[in-house]
Amino acid sequence: MSIPAPRPEPADTALAATPAGIEELRRLGAVTLDALAAGAAARGGPLPPGGPAAVARRVRRRCAPVLPDHGVGAEAALSTLVRTVTEGSADPADPACAGHLHCPPLALAVAAELAACALNPSLDSWDQAPAASALEEETTAALAALVYPGRTAPDALITSGGTESNLVALLLARERARRPQGPPVQVVCGANAHHSVHRAAWMLGLAPPVVVDCPDGRLGPDAVDRALADVPGPALVVATAGTTDAGLIDPLPELARVAAARRAELHVDAAYGGALLFSRRLAGRLDGLASAATVALDLHKLGWQPIAAGALAVADAATLAPLAVRADYLNAADDTDAGLPDLLGRSPRTSRRPDVLKVAVTLRALGRTGLGRLVEDCVDAAERLAGRIDAHPALRRRPGPCGISTVLFRPVAAAPDAAGDALVAEVRRRLLTEGRAVLGRSRAPDADGRVRLWLKATLLHPHVRGADLDRLLALVTDAVPAALRELAAQPGDAATGPAGRAHRPRPGAHR
Ligand SMILES: *Cc1c(COP(=O)(O)O)cnc(C)c1O
């Protein structure tokens, strides 16, 4: 006879949205917040020092085994794991964490997320999400009206982000262009387009996109016109409003004109730049956006939402029809005939998180002007950073305008050759592994037209101050001497970079 396993403590299995669960959430919420505070204090900077091996070792030491035979209990597991993950996190709320389109979420949005998780509505059928689906309808209508003012029937889908938005946009374009025996739609995009555009074409069985060169980082209308002239069948031009590498906005009105003249459609990937629409001062930078058949937006970038918070706006709701699908258990015809909303056609996913709750709470709490102000603060911070770099004797900025809130620069000590690029890469890695700063990297042409490696600062921190910007630049210049010493000590030919290092598998790297 086997002994029955001990039951977990009743409190550890309380259900979140019950009265007992809400009390438990209050208690565990406090445990969680204490662990967040302790973990952040232990880290003490934007990133854990020591690099991947040190972080992985600490996680293993404290958190394994993750599936013990007998559990350690809610409080112990929460406090240890939350503290450990916090201590080992990249903190986008630290002004020196400016590498990616990785935003510090608003406390308000995170609070809404708690409720979303506790209620757990699933947006694939009305009977799992009565109010959440109604709120989603209101919210997507508001986002659609923001992108397509004055249009009679725009709509928007909530997505997991720019990648899914681009995938669905290409899918809808493929279906709109479908003709019996006709060629499939050909995607035409810039060399500056996000990699997810290429993956979407691949996943959808479309030909690889025709890639148009972008010597100045933006998609040129004349080059697109020439590319379209060579496409025999239907075409979709994918433009970018806010490139990931430089924050640049393609010339949307001109691209819309060229596309229309060639009877091609336009999709705009505004994952980064779409939030400029909130600012009346900056919205004009997106003129032409409403000419697009579809527009991708990401509120987990400029928008300050916890991931995920994407949207795909469509000019005409009728073009969403190809997403429709029947599953008797979710949207039986007699149910929809009787008036139950059919939600299944609003996403390629089935179970779907109520990401809309935090988005709606944020939009309503801050309003258009409040959000617009945060966007302006990031754009202004980037201009200030650019000005400081231009005035700095040891740094130089990539010539040309700065992106939405992206600034590319490198140390003056980096020579205009491969060794200089290696120095830029080493400075960035040094700042990462020492936990001092997170900067991105971007390859882009210099004044002489030659492509070089740049440090990329992506400013999504709306409360960054001048002193924070000065500190970030000081971290970079302070890292240069040690990076030069490190490179000099490495074997290998300086012209090809540190040989044998880039390709050696890194111990402790899991990805
Ligand atoms: C971030 C980004 C994406 C991808 O969005 P995810 O939300 O990460 O899926 C697509 N396009 C552009 C221009 C982006 O900046």
166: nearest Cα among 271, 274, 258: 271
Tens-place pLDDT, residues 316-335 = 999 999 999 999 999 999 99
Distance from Cα 311 to the centre of ligand 1, integer Å: 11
Tens-place pLDDT, residues 43-92 = 999 999 999 999 999 999 999 999 999 999 999 999 999 999 999 999 99
Please confirm whether the linkage preceding 65 is cis (ω < 30° from 0). Answer: yes
Answer yes or no: is the C-beta of 310 below 6 A from any ligand 1 atom. Answer: yes
Residue 197 backbone dihedrals phi, psi, to 5 degrees? -65, -40
> Which one-letter DSSP state was computed for residue 246?
T
CA–CA gap between residue 75 and residue 24 (Å, rounded): 10
CA–CA gap between residue 48 and residue 56 (Å, rounded): 11
Distance from Cα 225 to the centre of ligand 1, integer Å: 26
Among protein residues, the one whose CA lies closest to atom 4 of ligand 1? 162
Atom of ligand 1 nearest to the CA of 242: 13
Local structure of 222: helix, strand or coil:
helix
Pocket test for ligand 1, best of 272, 276, 297, 456 (most atoms within 8 A of CB): 272
What's the start-to-end Cα distance of the chain, in Å? 45
**Amino acid identity at 269:** D
- pLDDT for the residue 490: 86
Sorted by where each starts, the structural domains of the chain and their CATH numbers stand as 22-90 (no CATH), 122-354 (3.40.640.10), 369-489 (3.90.1150.10)
Give the range among 2-16, 127-141, 205-219, 438-452 with minimum mean pLDDT: 2-16
Residue listed under structure tokens 């050759």: 417
Q: Is 494 a residue whose pLDDT tops 60?
A: no
- pLDDT for the residue 208: 98
Answer yes or no: is the C-beta of 161 below 6 A from any ligand 1 atom. Answer: yes
Pocket test for ligand 1, best of 166, 196, 240, 305 (most atoms within 8 A of CB): 196
Distances (CA, A) of 485 to 418, 481, 488: 16, 6, 5
Tens-place pLDDT, residues 88-106 = 999 999 999 999 999 999 9
List the structure tokens of 376.
């302006």
Among protein residues, the one whose CA lies closest to atom 5 of ligand 1? 162
Half-sphere exposure of 55 (CA within 13 A, CB side): 21
Half-sphere exposure of 321 (CA within 13 A, CB side): 5
Answer yes or no: is the C-beta of 165 below 6 A from any ligand 1 atom. Answer: no
Distance from Cα 99 to the centre of ligand 1, integer Å: 14
List the strands of the sheet with 438-445, edge to edge.
97-98, 438-445, 451-458, 406-411, 395-397
Answer yes or no: is the C-beta of 101 below 6 A from any ligand 1 atom. Answer: yes
- pLDDT for the residue 339: 95
Distance from Cα 183 to the centre of ligand 1, integer Å: 29
Atom of ligand 1 nearest to the CA of 272: 15
Answer yes or no: is the C-beta of 269 below 6 A from any ligand 1 atom. Answer: yes
Among protein residues, the one whose CA lies closest to atom 15 of ligand 1? 244
Burial class (CB in 10 A: 0-12, 13-18, 19+), 259: buried
Answer yes or no: is the C-beta of 247 below 6 A from any ligand 1 atom. Answer: no
What is the rounded average pLDDT of the residues 170-174? Answer: 98
- pLDDT for the residue 503: 44
CA 293, 298, 301, 304 torsion-angle sign:
positive
Tens-place pLDDT, residues 220-273 = 999 999 999 999 999 999 999 999 999 999 999 999 999 999 999 999 999 999
Q: What DSSP line would sit under 355-404, residue for residue?
A: THHHHHHHHHHHHHHHHHHHHHHHHHHHHHHHHHHHT-TTEEEPSS---S
CA–CA gap between residue 259 and residue 231 (Å, rounded): 12
CA–CA gap between residue 326 and residue 316 (Å, rounded): 22
